[in-house]
């Protein structure tokens, strides 16, 4: 690739694209809600939230100086991220707290990028994150899930026009914002019935001596505030 092509490619990534029409933004929000609300469909689409959840654990583990051993994604939409390092302390706390907050915070970051007109940067950035995560996947189902997600971003980025790219990007961000809300409520319901004894909230309680219900409240605050703020950015309010 010569310098001219490299410059053109860089300008394409970091440049801005026109804002889509309001009806497209609203339509993608409705479609994202339709992918989150029905339980039967959610059992499938929740895989994408699990990717973000486990990716959040992995990324924060690395940033906090821990050694990331691997990530597993399972067909029941559960996942497991294994890291090594000091079993207590701020690094472990941040790593444990990153899972349930990651989808919503990624959605908030995506909303900020879209509000600034950086549709291409969002698509390429998401592709890069998925490629980096793929290296750490340690089971076949996880590889399949991440490859399919990455392929969707690559195909949309290279083979579609601006309108389709905008619709896809807005749909993904709406899905992260809306889908990031539901898991904390699901965890709360499981714990109410005696399930999920080793959940992220319970691990955080053991690490911090703060009750699990407080950490559940924290997850709710992050997801709902991200949805509110991100939604306002996407709608141009």
Between 98 and 4, name the one with better pLDDT.
98
Contact between 76 and 121 under an 8 Å Cβ cutoff? The reply is no
Which tokens in the block code for residue 120? 């291409």
User: What is the pTM assigned to this prediction?
Assistant: 0.93
Contact between 58 and 81 under an 8 Å Cβ cutoff? The reply is yes
Task: Quote the pLDDT of residue 5.
Answer: 58
Query: What's the whole-number mean pLDDT along residues 174-183?
Result: 98
Task: Quote the pLDDT of residue 19.
Answer: 83
Secondary structure of residue 199 in the 3-state scheme: coil
**b/e map of 161-196 (b: 16 or more CB within 10 Å)?**
eeeebbbbbbbbbbbbbbbbbbbbeebbeebeeeeb
> Taking 80 as the threshold, does the pLDDT of residue 8 lie above it?
no
Task: Quote the pLDDT of residue 193.
Answer: 84
Q: Confidence class of residue 10 from pLDDT cuts 50, 70 and 90?
A: low
Task: Quote the pLDDT of residue 18.
Answer: 75
Contact between 113 and 14 under an 8 Å Cβ cutoff? The reply is no
Which tokens in the block code for residue 151? 């392929």
Task: Quote the pLDDT of residue 15.
Answer: 62
Task: Quote the pLDDT of residue 53.
Answer: 98
Between 89 and 194, name the one with better pLDDT.
89
> Taking 70 as the threshold, does the pLDDT of residue 186 lie above it?
yes
């Amino acid at each position: 690739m010569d310098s001219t092509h490299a410059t053109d490619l860089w300008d394409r990534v970091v440049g801005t694209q026109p804002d889509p029409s309001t009806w497209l933004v609203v339509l993608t929000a409705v479609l994202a809600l339709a992918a989150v609300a029905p339980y039967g469909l959610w059992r499938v689409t929740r895989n994408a939230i699990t990717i973000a959840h486990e990716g959040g654990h992995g990324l924060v583990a690395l940033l906090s100086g821990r050694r990331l051993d691997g990530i597993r994604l399972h067909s029941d939409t559960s996942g497991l991220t294994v890291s090594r390092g000091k079993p207590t302390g701020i690094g472990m706390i941040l790593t444990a707290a990153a899972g349930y907050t990651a989808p919503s915070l990624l959605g908030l970051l995506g909303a900020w990028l879209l509000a600034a007109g950086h549709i291409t940067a969002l698509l390429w950035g998401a592709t890069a994150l998925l490629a980096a995560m793929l290296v750490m996947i340690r089971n076949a189902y996880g590889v399949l899930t991440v490859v399919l997600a990455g392929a969707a971003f690559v195909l949309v980025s290279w083979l579609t026009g601006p309108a389709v790219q905008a619709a896809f990007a807005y749909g993904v961000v709406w899905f992260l914002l809306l889908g990031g809300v539901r898991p904390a409520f699901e965890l709360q319901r499981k714990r109410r019935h005696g399930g999920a004894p080793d959940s992220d909230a319970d691990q955080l309680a053991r690490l911090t001596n703060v009750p699990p219900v407080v950490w559940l409240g924290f997850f709710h605050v992050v997801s709902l505030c991200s949805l509110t703020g991100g939604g306002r950015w996407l709608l141009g309010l």
